[in-house]
Amino acid sequence: MKKIAIGVEGLKKSFKTNRVLVDVDFDVQNGEIFALLGSNGSGKTTIVNILSTLMKPDGGKIEVCSFDVLLQPDQVRQNISLTGQFSAIDGILTGRENLIMIAKLRRISNPAQTADKLLAKFSLADAANRRAEKYSGGMKRRLDIAMSLIGSPAVIFLDEPTTGLDPESRLEVWRTIKELAGGGATILLTTQHLEEAEQLADRIAILHDGKIITTGTLTELKKMFPPAKVEFVEKQPTLEEIFLAIIRKKEEL
Amino acid sequence: MTSTTGVLLGRLMRNITRSPDTIITVAITPIMMLLLFVYVFGGAIETGSSSYVNYLLPGILLITIASGVAYTSLRLFNDVKGGLMARFLTMPIKRSAILWAHVLTSLVSNSIAVAVVILAALLMGFRSNAGILEWLAVAGILGLFMLAVTWVAIIPGLTASSMEGATAYSYPLIFLPFVSSAFVPTETMPTAVRIFADNQPVTSIVNSIRVLLYDETVGNDIWVALAWCIAIMVFAYFIAVNVFKRQAR
């Protein structure tokens, strides 16, 4: 049974005279990872903010888990969690305390146990009792995502989950998101990087000039472009590949 | 406490107890001012009262509270900017609890700061013949003042675009006691300044605390003070809640 987790139809949003979202339509199926791909300022965050009940749309029919975001925001909030562009953690608290706080707010019956399980799952157990502000960028992001999983929300929004991370941390976060996919939750993530969408998403929607210009799986999108040609090109390693190779060598030593 | 407000209050109180700079600014600075005015300037100030520390304490307590609420703005600003506010707003929790946790944190931390400053004043010779009822009345006025300025502090905390902006309003608030009856009797001031000093909220609050602590003759001050506190509180509460509703949909 394929059910629609997120339904967006004719979504419009302007800020004063700036029409950010002109007419946005897309559906996200239950349990899939859906990537919204778009350049900076294309309105990806605006879509996430509207879907997560932070912002009101100017028009359109927008449903999350069959609840209308305008009319039933409380029911929507019962079913979602938001991981925004900046790691939404309390830096003064430890990682463990951050998780326990969210578990208590979500009225989970055993907050400490929930926290410990997530710390182990996200490889944060060693840093559990350190202040979160002392974490690396990748660890902060992982803690942030772990906080979003508490209470097993049906839909998880990840707004540019790897922006500002170094290549190594980005790979860590990618691994984390891939693992989430098996958990049954629906994930909507936004990104500016083609590679990230390619790596993570079941389906990709490209947002441009306030509209979704195309939606599909990677294979479907690839078919829309000219067929692949065989060319001989000398492939130089990118600086990123060099960096990662050196880091791994060091770890092996 | 497992209620939403309780969990959020616990979080904010932990933030305070783990930030030494907050504790130093909020409790140590007023004590330094007390020391400075009592032992350096005090000898040259003629107040008509036998002990300058007695005369000074009510004003210093208001300065303590005014500098304390600046941290409420700062904490709220950090929540908004850091994304925690967005996380809380998208969770199935009572929205009013988010602001009330900040207000209660302000009340608790400022009460502790006020108690510490009173203890320091006692060591410096502050004495009062007030009974338990008078002390309760003093606590009531100070509590009302805390609530009023805390709700004022919520507004820049929610709306400021920079950390400096979030706390800038507190400088005039801290400065206001200087142009009041807190440090010197207003009779010594030039007419224009005196008219301002006599009619601004700090003077009536300071005077009514003095009435309660030192058995001075009861005037209208206490009613004027209550009216100021309640008016500021209602006005600021209304604006703050409206700003919050607009930001949080």
* Nearest-by-Cβ selection for B7 from A91, A105, A131: A105
Q: Among A136-150, A222-236, B132-146, which stretch is predicted with the lowest mean pLDDT?
A: A222-236
Structure confidence at residue B166 (pLDDT): 85
Q: A217 CA to chain B: closest CA distance, Å?
A: 29
| Domain total in chain A | 1
Segment A9-35, tens digit of pLDDT: 999 999 888 888 999 999 999 989 999
Mean pLDDT over A215-222 rounds to 83
**Does A27 map to a domain?**
yes
Segment A59-94, tens digit of pLDDT: 999 999 999 999 999 999 999 999 988 889 999 999
Interface A-B, measured as beta-carbon pairs within 8 A, has a size of 69
Query: β-strands A186-191, A203-208: how paired?
Result: unpaired
Q: Among B128-132, B180-184, B218-222, which stretch is predicted with the lowest mean pLDDT?
A: B218-222
**Does A144 map to a domain?**
no
Looking at the predicted structure, is the pLDDT value of residue B104 above 60? yes
Q: Order of strands across the sheet with A33-37?
A: A67-68, A59-64, A4-15, A18-29, A211-216, A203-208, A33-37, A186-191, A155-159, A80-83
Q: B169 CA to chain A: closest CA distance, Å?
A: 25
Residue A202: CATH number of its domain: 3.40.50.300
B49 vs A42, higher pLDDT: A42
**Does A34 map to a domain?**
yes
| Average pLDDT value for chain B | 89
Segment B112-123, tens digit of pLDDT: 999 999 999 999
Structure confidence at residue A2 (pLDDT): 56
Looking at the predicted structure, is the pLDDT value of residue B2 above 60? no
Judge whether B92 is closer than 8 Å to chain A, CB to CB: yes
ipTM of the complex: 0.86
Mean pLDDT over B88-107 rounds to 93
A182 vs B157, higher pLDDT: B157
Best residue of B90, B105, B246 to probe chain A, by most A CBs closer than 10 Å = B90
| Contact state of A93 with B89 under an 8 Å Cβ cutoff | no
Structure confidence at residue A46 (pLDDT): 93
Q: Over the range B97-132, which residues count as b (16 or more CB within 10 Å of their CB) and which as e?
A: bbbebbbbbbbebbbbbbebbbebbeebebebebee
Instruction: Tell me the domain boundaries of chain B.
Output: 4-247
| Contact state of A80 with B7 under an 8 Å Cβ cutoff | no
Based on its alpha-carbon atoms, the radius of gyration of chain B, rounded to whole angstroms, reads: 19
φ, ψ of residue A246 in degrees (nearest 5): -65, -45
Confidence grade of residue B218 (pLDDT, cut at 50, 70, 90): low
* Nearest-by-Cβ selection for B87 from A78, A82, A97: A82
* Nearest-by-Cβ selection for B249 from A53, A91, A106: A53
**Does A126 map to a domain?**
no
Mean pLDDT over A140-150 rounds to 92
Looking at the predicted structure, is the pLDDT value of residue B135 above 80? yes
Cα separations in angstroms, A12 against A8, A26, B131: 10, 13, 65
Looking at the predicted structure, is the pLDDT value of residue A135 above 50? yes
Dist. CA A223–CA A93, nearest whole Å = 49
**Does A116 map to a domain?**
no
Chain B hits for A55, CB-CB cut-off 8 Å, are: 249
Chain A hits for B91, CB-CB cut-off 8 Å, are: 77, 81, 102, 105-106
Dist. CA A54–CA B83, nearest whole Å = 12
Looking at the predicted structure, is the pLDDT value of residue B241 above 80? yes
**Does A59 map to a domain?**
yes
Looking at the predicted structure, is the pLDDT value of residue B77 above 70? yes
| Percentage of chain B exceeding pLDDT 90 | 55
Bridge partner list, A18: A15
Residue of B nearest to A56 (CA): B249
* 3-state SS class at A208: strand
Looking at the predicted structure, is the pLDDT value of residue A1 above 50? no
Q: Among A36-40, A83-87, B213-217, B241-245, which stretch is predicted with the lowest mean pLDDT?
A: B213-217
**Does A11 map to a domain?**
yes
Structure confidence at residue A253 (pLDDT): 64
Structure confidence at residue B44 (pLDDT): 79
Confidence grade of residue B249 (pLDDT, cut at 50, 70, 90): low
Q: Over the range B68-95, which residues count as b (16 or more CB within 10 Å of their CB) and which as e?
A: bbbbbbbbbbbbbebbbbbbbbbbbbeb
Confidence grade of residue B1 (pLDDT, cut at 50, 70, 90): very low
Confidence grade of residue B59 (pLDDT, cut at 50, 70, 90): very high
Helices (H), chain A: 44-51, 73-79, 95-105, 111-121, 137-149, 167-181, 194-200, 218-223, 239-252
**Does A143 map to a domain?**
no
φ, ψ of residue B214 in degrees (nearest 5): -120, 20
Range of A32's domain? Answer: 4-85+154-252
